Amino acid sequence: MGKQPCVYILASRRHGTLYIGVTSDLLARLHQHREGLIAGFTKDHHIHRLVRFEMFEEMPTAIAREKQLKNWRRDWKTNLIEQDNPDWHDLAIGLGFEPLS
């Protein structure tokens, strides 16, 4: 997986605190979140589990999707996650990351 615009959703745990972000390099950004290299909300609230991601061709489209999702009600976000990931598995493991401790 090379550099490609992506919107991602992290969770602290199943039905836990959510974080929605956008990046051009999902693997690098996941590494930053999981190692606590990004100060702020995700580090403070231990939000490291990748529960959904969507790839895009162009960054403006990804940014628009991120803004859309951030404005959604929580139950809509939960339903979106559970469409493809009903058990809230950490999808980063399938991308080569070690399971979270």
DSSP 32: H
Torsion-angle region of residue 10: left (phi > 0), alpha (psi -120 to 50) or beta? beta
Q: What is the pLDDT of residues 57-71, one digit of tens each?
A: 999 999 999 999 999
Q: Which domains does the chain have, with CATH numbers?
A: 6-95 (3.40.1440.10)
Higher-scoring residue by pLDDT: 1, 56? 56
| Confidence label for 1 from pLDDT (cuts 50, 70 and 90) | low
Fill in the amino acid letter for 62: A
Q: Are 42 and 31 in contact (CB under 8 A)?
A: no
Look up the pTM and report it.
0.95
Measured between its terminal Cα atoms, the distance across the chain in Å is 24
